[in-house]
Every structure is written in C-alpha cells, then in structure tokens.
Chain A
Amino acid sequence: MAEKILLKGNIALAKGAIAAGCRYYFGYPITPQNDIPEFLSGELPKIGGTFIQAESEIASINMVMGASAAGARVMTSSSGPGISLMQEGMSYMAGSELPCLVVNVMRVGPGLGGIAPTQGDYFQATRGGGHGDYFNIVFAPASVQEMFDLTVKAFELADKYRNPAMILCDAILGQMKEPVVLEEREVSKPPAKPWSLTGASGRNPQFLKTLYLSDGEQEAHNLELKNKYDVLRKEEVLYEEKGLNDCEVVIVAFGTVSRIAKTAIQNIKKEGIRVGLIRPVTLFPFPTEIIRKTARNIPRILVVEMNTGQMFEDVKLSIENKIKIRFYGRPGGGIPTPEDIMREIKVLINEKSV
C-alpha cells in the first residue's frame, strides 16, 4: 500500500500540480493561499519549470494565457480580490478555448474582507465570473487528499475540453493538515495541442482570438461553446452521496461544510433521525440529476453553506416537484457547527408539510 504522509492542503494541491505535469506558475501574493506560490517557487526551478511572481493578478492570468497558448500545462492561484482581477483574462481564455488551472482559496467579502473561511465566491466561480457567455469547470475538494487528486483531475479536464478549470476551496482546506496518499497513478499526458502557437514551422500560420465582428460569427462561436458545456454536464459531473436510500432529510453541502454536515448526520442518528448527504464535487457541471431524483423520494432537503445562499439556487433549480427545502448559512467567516445543522434538520422536519 502506498505510504501516507501528513500534508497541508495548499501543499498537497501544489504537489498535485507537479504530479499533473504543470511546470509553469504565475501568481501574486495574497492570503490564505501563499503556501502554494512559496512552495512552487522552490520546486519548479528544480524540475525545469518556471515560476514568476507577477506584478499583479491581472498580469498573472495573462502570463497563464500566454503559456497556455504556447501549449503548456499552467496554473495560477489567488483568493477573492485577486480572483476578481483575473476575471478579464479568464473570459478571454474561455473565449479562445485555452486550458489552465486557477485556484481560489476563498476569503470573505465583498471587498477586501478577511481571511476567514467562506464559500462566498460560489456564484463568481460557477457563473463564469467575467463578461460574456461561458463557464469554468469548477471542483470543490473537501479533504487534503482531494486537494491533490482534484488538482490532477482539473488539469486533465481543462486540456480535454480546452477550458479554464478552477479549484474552489477555503482557508480551512488550504491550511489544515491531513494524511495523504500521493498516488503514483498514471497521470494522463497532456494531449497533443495542434492549435497551440509554436511558430508556423511546417504548417500554415494559426492564431488565437476572441474578436468576432462578422455577422453571426460570434453567435456561432457561443453556440459551439454551449455544446461543450452540454457535454461537460452530461459526462463530467462528480458528487458523493451517502445514506440516500434510508433517510427522511437530505443535506446538500460542498467542501468544508460537507464535513461538518457528516458530523451532524452521525450525531443526529443517535436520536433516531436518519439524514442523507449529497456533496457536489464538481460545482460546474452541477449534479442536478441526482438532486432531482432524490427529491422525488425524499420530502425534505436542507442546503448548508458558508454564505447567504448561493448553491441554494442551483439546488432549487434542480428540484421539479414540490418538497420542503430549507437553507442554513453563515457568511463572512462564520462556520456552522454540527449543533447548528442538527437544529436546522429538526426545524425542517417539524415544518408543516407542503
């Protein structure tokens, strides 16, 4: 069996990037993700890679864009305000179909906020975030192991679909230490990138762009992108489910909150209340189907987040029949306790039936 080692979430993520063959990192300091650039600034030069501390997050994402256009696996990482500055570049990369990984170790907002854990950037991550009609592929790890595994997976899917991918996590996942198995599994080699810019040697010159001025050209491009997002929705949804066959309430929660929910579920079982869990692992594509199916059989759903109700909207959109659905959230760095969640479960159960 592979050896377990104790790692901090941010470091596991950085090791995942190296395992995935990423050799280019461009970023700008911001808490609580600094372990990632600090680690990679030491490691990448040793393995023939490049680390640049850019002058801003705007420059970072545009360096990422250049390296991606040149055919490399490349990443950046940041938090809240820095991710906001990157939205321009991410929109261009989605438009010109350039793969990359952007890591958001969320901090609270709006504005400068603080560095406490939060899930307040769910909308920004899952709705594209920048201007125009596009989506990022978004992963929500819930353990240090997943910080490693999903980073590898994110690079693979970004290349497969020629689309920016994002890891959306928080300071708890970034800063805590857990045992991790750095799986020596075969990481898929980056696919051939015949579209990349390498100098037009032995072929016709080619270019990458997002400006479409001729009548209908942009619409056709947007519809092509939509086809890609539809394939993602069909093929790449990831989620964890627990106890859905035998419960009276289902909790939907992602990332850090799903762990607190698991404790609440365990504790409340002692009181004879059976509660199931759906944990979205991909936030885009969202696990709509399992939520829809579950809602047909289980009459109550509780959504718990560290925000004022963002994924809550996607859960509501997933449910077609009339059931009881309740939201509990703590924004601005507040963290729900298992007791909070148990209380909410009971409130939901005691609500008059619809």
Chain B
Amino acid sequence: MKKVFERPKSLVDRLTHFCPGCTHGTAHRLVAEAIDYFNVQEDTIGVSGVGCAVFMYDYFAIDAIEAPHGRAPAVATGIKRVHPDKIVFTYQGDGDLASIGTSEIIHTANRGENITVIFINNTVYGMTGGQMAPTTLLGQQTTTSPYGRDPRNDGFPIRMAEMLATLEGVAYSTRASMHNAKEVLKAKKAVKKAFEMQKEGLGFTFVELLSACHTNWRVKAKEGQKRVEQELIPYFPLGVFREKKNEHMMNRG
C-alpha cells in the first residue's frame, strides 16, 4: 500500500510544549516539509526567536541556535555570511520580530540577506502570558490592554509583510493563514517558495503566517480559528506583496 502521509524527516518524533490546537505545530510542519522537499536537512541551520518558538531545536532535526529576543535576523546574517551555501532561516513570533526586533528585521531585509524568515503573527505575546503585541488588533483585550487596545495610547497594529515589501532587498514577502486546510495548503506553498528562492540566491524571503493563540485569546480552539478568519484577515489581508523574478542580483552563494 502506498504511504500518502507521514511525519516529515526533519521533525523529531516527540510531543511539543505547544497548547492543544495551537498552529505553531502546523507552522513547524510546513517548514519541515519544505526542508524535506528540497532534501536540505543536512544543509539547514535554524535560528529561533524568543517566545513560544524558542524550542525549535527540540523539534527540528537540524542544526539550530537560540538568538536573543528580536535578534534572530542578525544572528542568521552572521551564520549565512560564513556558510553562504547553507539554507538559513529564522522562526520568530510577533513580539520578537515586530516589536523588540524591528531594527534587525528591517535592516536584514534591506541588505537582501539571502535567508528566509518565518513570522508567526497571533496578535499576542504567548509565552509570557498574553500581553499586548505590536500586532494586537484595535479593541483587543490582553493582559496589558485590559480595556482593549486603544490607538490613542497604544498605536496601531503593524502590517509587517506590507512594510517589508517596500524594501529593495526583499525578494519575496507574503502573508498566509493556517485557519483551515485550504489555507494551510496555500501557506505550505508560500513556505516552499521562500526556501526555493533562497536556494536560488534571490535574496530575503519573508512568510508571515496568521496563527491562533486561543489560550491567550481566552477562547476555545475552534473559535480561535474562526477569529483568524473573521477578525485577523480583514486587517491583515492574505497575499503576495512582493516577488522578484529570477534576478540573481543578491546571489552571494
């Protein structure tokens, strides 16, 4: 009988610490599938951010390093410049990438570093217990915005994929979602494309994945997915915001 579904080789066979129903597990799987697809498990170095994503090295069967909060793109830059022939990616949450790490992400993208960034946007700080993130929606209640995010005090949610798409060094910037099977398949294609473009040396690739954090949203898992569709996507539209075609201008390999 033909096997049609199995655990990616690049994922370790173990239980994760993620909450049941969390889409970090899905995102991990999509990245592992891309690594398997290009058969680069032995040529890939991962950089984890700080937050729920920090334990990447426990789940991926690849070389990996834990970066200081927000600094993963800078650490990845150092690794990639020493090993331009390896696939280097970061995996960061929204507090890590869009708040404390804005300087690093913008300048790494602007240099056109030939790395891939997987950005998990769930509009909240997960690991520290549900505080307001730079991506928290207006009116959204969190442990540090108990009256709802108020733009007069807290500013507005940041759209990273659109912002990075304005930079010349960026080869690919896209936003996908994981709230249902159809969108997961689209997200899978986006992740694969990003890795493929890095392999081709096209420059900086960025995949933002809308993700549910029902634990900190204080809703049931199923309602979490619904919220992604009904509240997140209207503010964070899905789509490709920048895509370079076969320009080898950034090839340092």
A interface residues with partner B (beta carbon < 8 Å): 24, 26, 50, 52, 54-56, 58-60, 62-72, 74, 88-89, 92, 96, 197-202, 205-211
Which of the listed residues B42, B44, B47 has the most CB atoms from chain A within 10 Å of its own CB?
A: B42
Query: Are B107 and A54 neighbours in the complex by a CB distance under 8 Å?
Result: yes
Query: Are A207 and B107 neighbours in the complex by a CB distance under 8 Å?
Result: no
Please give me the residue from chain B that is nearest to A69 by CB atom: B65
In the complex, what residues of A have CB within 8 A of residue B45's CB? 70, 197-199
Assuming A66-B79, A72-B82, A200-B42, is B65 touching A55 (CB within 8 A)?
A: no
Q: What would 30 A/B residue contacts be, using CB atoms closer than 8 Å?
A: A52-B81, A55-B104, A56-B103, A58-B71, A59-B103, A62-B67, A62-B74, A62-B75, A62-B104, A63-B78, A66-B65, A66-B76, A66-B80, A67-B79, A69-B65, A69-B75, A70-B78, A70-B79, A70-B83, A88-B68, A89-B71, A197-B45, A197-B65, A199-B42, A199-B43, A200-B41, A207-B57, A207-B63, A208-B66, A209-B57
Query: Are B81 and A59 neighbours in the complex by a CB distance under 8 Å?
Result: no
Closest CB in chain B relative to A312 CB, distance in Å: 33
Question: Is B60 in contact with chain A by the CB < 8 A criterion?
Answer: yes
Closest CB in chain B relative to A54 CB, distance in Å: 7
Question: Is B61 in contact with chain A by the CB < 8 A criterion?
Answer: yes
Question: Is B86 in contact with chain A by the CB < 8 A criterion?
Answer: yes
Question: Is B228 in contact with chain A by the CB < 8 A criterion?
Answer: no
Question: Is B77 in contact with chain A by the CB < 8 A criterion?
Answer: yes
Query: Are A50 and B61 neighbours in the complex by a CB distance under 8 Å?
Result: no
Query: Are B68 and A66 neighbours in the complex by a CB distance under 8 Å?
Result: no
In the complex, what residues of A have CB within 8 A of residue B210's CB? none
Query: Are B78 and A65 neighbours in the complex by a CB distance under 8 Å?
Result: yes
CA distance A67 to B66 in the complex (A): 14
Query: Are A64 and B63 neighbours in the complex by a CB distance under 8 Å?
Result: no
In the complex, what residues of A have CB within 8 A of residue B75's CB? 62-63, 65-66, 69
CA distance A88 to B68 in the complex (A): 8
Query: Are B68 and A67 neighbours in the complex by a CB distance under 8 Å?
Result: no
Which of the listed residues B66, B75, B78, B79 has the most CB atoms from chain A within 10 Å of its own CB?
A: B78
Nearest first, the 9 closest Cβ-Cβ pairs linking A and B are A66-B78, A62-B74, A207-B57, A70-B82, A67-B78, A55-B107, A66-B75, A201-B42, A62-B71
In the complex, what residues of B have CB within 8 A of residue A205's CB? 57, 60-64
Question: Is B54 in contact with chain A by the CB < 8 A criterion?
Answer: yes
Closest CB in chain B relative to A164 CB, distance in Å: 14
Please give me the residue from chain B that is nearest to A98 by CB atom: B65
CA distance A127 to B56 in the complex (A): 32
**Interface residue from A26, A54, A211 paired with B54 (Cβ < 8 Å):** A211
CA distance A202 to B41 in the complex (A): 11
B interface residues with partner A (beta carbon < 8 Å): 41-45, 47, 54, 57, 60-68, 71, 74-83, 86, 103-104, 106-107, 111
Please give me the residue from chain A that is nearest to B88 by CB atom: A66
In the complex, what residues of A have CB within 8 A of residue B74's CB? 54, 58-60, 62-63, 65-66
Closest CB in chain A relative to B81 CB, distance in Å: 5
In the complex, what residues of A have CB within 8 A of residue B66's CB? 96, 207-211
Which of the listed residues A55, A96, A197, A200 has the most CB atoms from chain B within 10 Å of its own CB?
A: A197
Please give me the residue from chain A that is nearest to B55 by CB atom: A211
Query: Are A69 and B61 neighbours in the complex by a CB distance under 8 Å?
Result: no
Which of the listed residues A72, A74, A198 has the most CB atoms from chain B within 10 Å of its own CB?
A: A198
In the complex, what residues of A have CB within 8 A of residue B82's CB? 24, 50, 66-67, 70-72
Query: Are B83 and A199 neighbours in the complex by a CB distance under 8 Å?
Result: yes
Please give me the residue from chain A that is nearest to B64 by CB atom: A207
In the complex, what residues of B have CB within 8 A of residue A89's CB? 68, 71
Please give me the residue from chain B that is nearest to A60 by CB atom: B74
Query: Are A201 and B62 neighbours in the complex by a CB distance under 8 Å?
Result: no
Assuming A69-B65, A209-B57, is B103 touching A26 (CB within 8 A)?
A: no
Known: A52-B77, A65-B65. 6 other contacts (CB 8 A): A55-B106, A55-B107, A66-B79, A67-B82, A199-B43, A199-B62
In the complex, what residues of A have CB within 8 A of residue B107's CB? 54-55, 59
In the complex, what residues of A have CB within 8 A of residue B57's CB? 205, 207, 209
Please give me the residue from chain B that is nearest to A64 by CB atom: B78
Please give me the residue from chain A that is nearest to B74 by CB atom: A62
Query: Are A55 and B103 neighbours in the complex by a CB distance under 8 Å?
Result: yes
In the complex, what residues of A have CB within 8 A of residue B67's CB? 62, 65, 92
